[in-house]
Structures are given as C-alpha cells and as structure tokens.
C-alpha cells in the first residue's frame, strides 16, 4: 500500500503537467515520451510570403536523422541527397560552399511546451557557428509515427522564408 501511494505521488505531478499543458522539460524526465527515438525525414518544404514553394538547401527529400533521447538531448543532421560527391580537402571554394550549405547539423538539449505546441532546440554544437547558443523554436504535431515540425519566418541564404515544414517518420 505504501509503495502504491509513493508511486502515485510521483506520477500525479507529471500527469498534471501533461493534462494542463504546462511547459515540460525533457531533460527533467517529464517531457513527452512519444518524441523519444530516432526519426528520418520524409519531406522538407518552404513557403515564401507570397505562397510560393521553395526547397531548403538540403533539398525537398533530404537524408538524415533527428534524435531525441530520454536525458533531454537532441541531435539533427540533414543533407541534400543530390550533393556532389567530392572530398572537402580538395574541393574548390565554390564546391565547399555548396557542400556546407547543403548540410544542416546541430545538437544540444530540448524542452517542450505542450500548451503552445512547441519544442525548443537549445543549440550547444552546430555546423553553422552562428547557431551555437541559440534556441530554435519549432511548432510540432505528433501523429502516431509521424512528426511535423514547422518554423519561420527567417532568411535562408537570401530568400525570405515565411515557414518551413519538415515531416519526419519514426524509425522502428
């Protein structure tokens, strides 16, 4: 009986946080367990302010992984599957720039706010030095084994993007 009361005392605060939409931190262990795992990209699409479709530098069908773990850490790597295959040590400056802009990589911790439907990636390490120390806010919708992340507006190499939508599928 004492064990059951102890377990309930531990579960009720976490349940209230989820039910009432308070901000949850995956690092503290009470984040949505449904996000934990490894995801692969299905599609990526940008929309400009006038509604035109534009694709990110890493392509409409990028390759890569997005991982959330139970300790509150995350990592993402995306690459344009059509990048030129070359060695960076021997690449021209133009080839090097194309290879770098066709690849997205960063890692850090994450927190979730269920009430706002957002997940925040707190960037500790990134391919782009300007991303280090930033908080990247994404709207998220989780439906079974599909995760949709939406972000924007921002400037993508000279193109003003109103919103970017990335659709992910959980690896099983």
User: CB-hemisphere CA count at 13 Å for 95?
Assistant: 9
Total of domains in the chain: 1
Q: Could you report the per-residue pLDDT of 163-172, keeping only the tens digit for each?
A: 999 999 999 8
Strand partners, 142: 147
The CATH number given to whatever domain includes residue 139 is: 2.40.128.280
Residue among 148, 120, 161, 153 nearest 42 (CA)? 148
Alpha-carbon torsion (136, 122, 42, 85), positive or negative: positive
Return d(Cα 133, Cα 118) in angstroms, integer.
18
* pLDDT at residue number 24: 43
pLDDT at 136 over 60: yes
Domain that holds residue 42: 2-170
Tell me 73's DSSP state. E
Return d(Cα 46, Cα 65) in angstroms, integer.
19
pTM of the entire predicted model: 0.78
């Amino acid at each position: 009986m004492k064990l059951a009361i102890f377990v309930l005392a531990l579960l009720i605060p976490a349940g209230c946080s989820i039910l009432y939409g308070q901000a949850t931190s995956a690092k503290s262990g009470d984040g949505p367990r449904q996000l934990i795992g490894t995801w692969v990209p299905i599609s990526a699409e940008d929309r400009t302010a006038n509604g035109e479709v534009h694709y990110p530098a890493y392509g409409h069908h990028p390759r890569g992984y997005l991982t959330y773990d139970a300790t509150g850490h995350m990592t993402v790597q995306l690459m344009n599957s059509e990048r030129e295959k070359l060695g960076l040590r021997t690449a021209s400056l133009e080839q090097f720039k194309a290879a770098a802009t066709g690849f997205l990589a960063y890692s850090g911790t994450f927190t979730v706010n269920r009430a706002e439907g957002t997940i925040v990636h707190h960037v500790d390490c990134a391919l782009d030095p300007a991303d280090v120390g930033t908080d990247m806010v994404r709207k998220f919708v989780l439906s079974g084994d599909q995760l949709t992340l939406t972000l924007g507006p921002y400037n993508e190499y000279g193109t003003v993007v109103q919103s970017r939508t990335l659709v992910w599928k959980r690896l099983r």
